[in-house]
Chains A and B, each alone.
Chain A
Amino acid sequence: MPGDRFPSKDEDRKTADLAWSAVGYLLAGLLFYGGLGWVIGTWLGNREAFTAFGALVGICLSLYLTYVRISQPSSRRNPK
């Protein structure tokens, strides 16, 4: 079988899942923290700066989350 060299099907599926939801994570971070920044900015009177800052923080957090999710299978493989 040519597929034998590849990592197990289960792990394969997990990374496939992540590949498709990476955009969803990024959008979620952007919307949530950008929206939070918008609310705080409206409250404090500097909407644009806070929204932009919130969106950047959200993007960074989503990227971190994607990184955590993606390195999860391999870190699980090592201890055994």
Chain B
Amino acid sequence: MSLIAEVTGSLGAIGYGLAAIGPGIGIGIIFGQGVQAIARQPEAYGVIRQNMILGFALAEALALIGFVVPFVFGK
């Protein structure tokens, strides 16, 4: 068996780093689009803001799941 590449050390930290990419992009998109929506339609501020926070919570949940997985399954 030939080994092309090997990763040693704290794999949990690397895994969380990778898992945080997606939510990071997602949260950026949510707030970017949210601010744009408020700029276009300031009178819908309340509704936009509610949905913005809800979307943020959903994306953040993924980041937190990614944080927990190394603790649970990491050996």
Q: Show the binding face of A for B, using Cβ within 8 Å.
A: 5-7, 11, 15, 18-19, 22-23, 25-27, 30, 34, 48, 51-52, 55-56, 59, 62-63, 66-67, 70-71, 73-74
Contacts and interface: CB of A to CB of B under 8 A. Distances in A.
B73 A15 contact: no
Interface in B26-51: 42-43, 45-47, 49-50
In the A-B complex, the 5 residue pairs with the smallest Cβ-Cβ separation, listed nearest first, are A7-B46, A22-B57, A66-B57, A19-B53, A51-B72
A62 B61 CA distance: 9
B5 to A, nearest CB: 28
A30 B50 CA distance: 22
Contacts, number: 63
Contacts of B58: 63
Interface of A is mostly: helix
Contact of A34 (B47, B53, B68): B68
Contacts of B50: 15, 70-71, 74
Nearest to A49: B72
Contacts of B68: 30, 34, 55
B45 A6 contact: yes
Contacts of A56: 65
